[in-house]
Amino acid sequence: MPGVTAFPPFPEDVPTHPLLIVDYQLVRAGDAEETNKLWKAATELGFWYLKHHGVDEEVKAMFDMGRSTLALPLEEKLRFEQGDQGFSFGYKAAGMQFMDDNGTRDVTEFLNISKDDALAWPKMYHRTYPSTVNERMESVIKPFVQKSLAINHFLIDVLNDKLGLPKGALAALHNPDEASGCTARCIRAPPRLERANKTFLNPHTDFGSLSFLHNRLGGLQVLPPGSDKWYYVKPIPGHAICNIGDALNIFSGGILRSNVHRVMPPPGEQANFERFSLVFFTRPNDQAILRALSEKSLTIAEAVSRAPPGRYEPGVTAKEWLVRRIKSQRVTNYKGPESWKERKGTEDSTIPLLAQI
């Protein structure tokens, strides 16, 4: 097909972790078995494939938008850089985040487009974007943001009910009309690095509630609970990869799992290609307090009573959590090996973050 790169297949001989496949249309129809599958995935690994989500066209157009924008001259992209103060929206240049205790710079660049800016367009809410974004705001970005939000909100509602929360309790913390860190992100990592094992994105948990990820090339890896080995997640055409982030982990008293993951160069022949990926991050309202909703659900109260005191009450708003995690990974804020700890999310302290395959 003209204009479409045919990638080599994902190799069969690399360690790969199977994810449960959840059919979005069945969940929407209230199918009990499918809903139970979603619950199992969200509580055990915190990752699952989502099929029949109906966003394929918008995803394709977003990949085109990301490719065009990240192909702009660096000087132009830098006019939109996110900066060092923990502001999420805009462009993040390669080399602006540190990767390890030694402050090694990353090789990945990305563009974050705020849900608030997409929905307010043509008005500006948080910031401005390059022309390649502006010209697709109405036709591509807004529809992608709206559809992604609708899917994530529906899944959050289902999890809300399974957690024994009153109807709409989590929805109230994710009101699309309020300012939030909800973001569409296009990521680019280079092909063929000399150091073949250089990490693209360090081990991390996602900062918000629910991530809706679209991958064409391999590279994403998960560290399954109790394992000290990393496993690839194989991209399957038309299947999004969904995962729980820190905020839902905290609201649920740890019942929903915010699992550690990282991105490595794609395996095998795929490593010869530039790697583009696309995520929509649903995050709570900026002013939402991050704490377990114990008083609203017995199930959550019980989970919290088994956890170390304060584990699910970090005492900050969703915005403060986000700002801390973004700011502390900028190279300009690197102060030595202890800086690594400031980036921490909800991952278990027992997880060996630098475990190798």
Ligand X SMILES: O=C(O)CCC(=O)C(=O)O
Residues forming contacts to ligand X in the complex (CB under 6 A) are 185, 187, 201, 206, 213, 215, 219-220, 261, 263, 277, 279
DSSP letters for 239-301: -EEEEE-HHHHHHTTT-S----EEE-PPSGGGGGS-EEEEEEEE--BTT-B----GGG-HHHH
- Given Fe ion, ligand X, none, residue 223, with its beta carbon under 5 to 8 Å by kind, binds none
Burial bucket for residue 93 (CB in 10 Å: 0-12, 13-18, 19+)? middle
> How many other CB atoms are found less than 10 A from the CB of residue 311?
15
Q: Which is nearer to ligand X, 253 or 267 (CB)?
A: 267
Q: How far is the CB of 204 from Fe ion (least distance, A)?
A: 6
Q: How far is the CB of 209 from ligand X (least distance, A)?
A: 13
- When asked if residue 116 is in the footprint of Fe ion (CB under 5 A), the reply is no
- Given Fe ion, ligand X, none, residue 220, with its beta carbon under 5 to 8 Å by kind, binds ligand X
Task: Name the helix (H) or strand (E) containing 172.
Answer: helix 169-172
> How many other CB atoms are found less than 10 A from the CB of residue 241?
23
Residue nearest to Fe ion (CB): 206
CA angle 328, 130, 71 (to 5 degrees): 85
Q: Which amino acid is at 277?
A: S
- When asked if residue 106 is in the footprint of Fe ion (CB under 5 A), the reply is no
Q: Which is nearer to ligand X, 297 or 329 (CB)?
A: 329
Q: How far is the CB of 153 from ligand X (least distance, A)?
A: 20
- Given Fe ion, ligand X, none, residue 97, with its beta carbon under 5 to 8 Å by kind, binds none
- When asked if residue 246 is in the footprint of Fe ion (CB under 5 A), the reply is no
Q: How far is the CB of 285 from ligand X (least distance, A)?
A: 20
Q: Which is nearer to Fe ion, 319 or 325 (CB)?
A: 325
- Given ligand X, Fe ion, none, residue 111, with its beta carbon under 5 to 8 Å by kind, binds none
Among 181, 206, 234, 258, contact with Fe ion (rule: CB under 5 A) = 206
Q: Which is nearer to ligand X, 16 or 299 (CB)?
A: 16
| C-alpha distance across the termini of the chain, in Å | 36
Q: Which two tokens stand for residue 326?
A: 């973004």
Among the residue ranges 21-29, 129-137, 199-207, 345-353, the one whose residues contact Fe ion (CB under 5 A)? 199-207
DSSP letters for 28-72: HTT-HHHHHHHHHHHHHTSEEEEES-S-HHHHHHHHHHHHHHHTS
Instruction: Tell me, by CB under 5 A, how many residues bind Fe ion.
Output: 1
Q: Which two tokens stand for residue 119?
A: 């929905």
- Given Fe ion, ligand X, none, residue 187, with its beta carbon under 5 to 8 Å by kind, binds ligand X
Q: How many helices (H) and strands (E) does the chain have?
A: 12, 12
Sites of contact with Fe ion (CB under 5 A): 206
